Every structure is written in structure tokens, then in C-alpha cells.
């Protein structure tokens, strides 16, 4: 996602190969290939409420509630698999949801997309 930062990713988003991210909630990209799988992985990693639902608006609501409690860092390992089995537009929607939260939530949101190192 490119925004008004002169062609660079927004401040809340980091894309890298080997970050050290203490305290991050970690998701496995292989377990997030579909939207339902992503929602389930987030619910498990963040202990989100059962009323999470299955829409982007529902995800935004529960993540906003989570961000009311304090800052959040998400680390997605093997991020190239994130929503890989969904139409490309779903990835863009996820970035839009996270970007809106990062801009408006009570506490900071940081998302780190870690890609597998080449063999």
C-alpha cells in the first residue's frame, strides 16, 4: 500500500525479511490464505470476542475495541501467503481496514509483513 509518504509504505506498515519484533502477536501466513482463516487466526492470536463475525466491518469493530485497550503489533510470517486464495481485492480491503485503524484508533497499530527468506 502506497500513501502520501512519497511512494513509501505508511508508517504503520513494515515489510521485511528478518525483523525482531518483541511483544508482537504472530500469525502464520500459511494459516491466513482465506478471509475466514485470517479471521480465525486473528481471533485466536488476539483472544477476540466470539461475536467477531465474518465481515471486514466486524473485524474493524473488534480490532478497534482491542486498540482501545492498548497498542498492538501484528507480525505475519510468510506474508506472501496472506489472503493468497482470495481475490486480489480482499488484500486491498484488509490494508484499507488496517490503515483506517492505524489512523484513528486510540492506541498505535503496527503491522509487520515478514516474507520468507530466499533459499
Query: Which domains, ranges and CATH numbers included, belong to the chain?
Result: 13-114 (3.30.370.10)
Task: Say if residue 5's pLDDT is above 70.
Answer: no
> pLDDT per residue over 39-68, tens digit each?
999 999 999 987 788 899 999 999 999 999
> pLDDT per residue over 77-114, tens digit each?
999 999 999 998 999 999 999 999 999 999 999 999 99
Binned at pLDDT 50, 70 and 90, residue 117 comes out as: low
**Cα-based distances in Å from 94 to 10, 59, 87, 88:** 14, 10, 12, 10
All 3 cell numbers of residue 49? Answer: 470476542
Burial of 56 (C-beta count, 10 Å sphere; 0-12/13-18/19+): middle
Distance CA 23, CA 25 (A): 7
- pTM, entire model: 0.87
Amino acid at each position: 500500500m502506497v500513501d502520501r509518504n512519497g511512494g513509501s509504505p505508511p508508517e504503520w506498515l513494515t515489510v521485511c525479511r528478518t525483523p525482531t519484533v518483541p511483544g508482537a502477536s504472530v500469525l502464520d501466513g500459511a494459516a491466513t490464505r482465506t478471509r475466514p482463516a485470517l479471521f480465525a487466526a486473528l481471533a485466536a492470536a488476539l483472544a477476540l470476542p466470539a461475536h467477531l463475525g465474518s465481515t471486514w466491518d466486524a473485524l474493524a469493530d473488534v480490532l478497534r475495541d482491542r486498540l482501545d485497550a492498548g497498542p498492538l503489533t501484528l507480525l505475519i510470517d510468510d506474508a506472501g501467503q496472506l489472503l493468497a486464495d482470495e481475490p486480489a481485492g480482499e488484500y486491498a480491503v484488509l490494508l484499507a481496514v488496517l490503515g483506517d485503524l492505524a489512523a484513528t484508533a486510540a492506541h498505535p497499530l503496527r503491522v509487520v509483513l515478514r516474507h520468507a527468506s530466499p533459499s
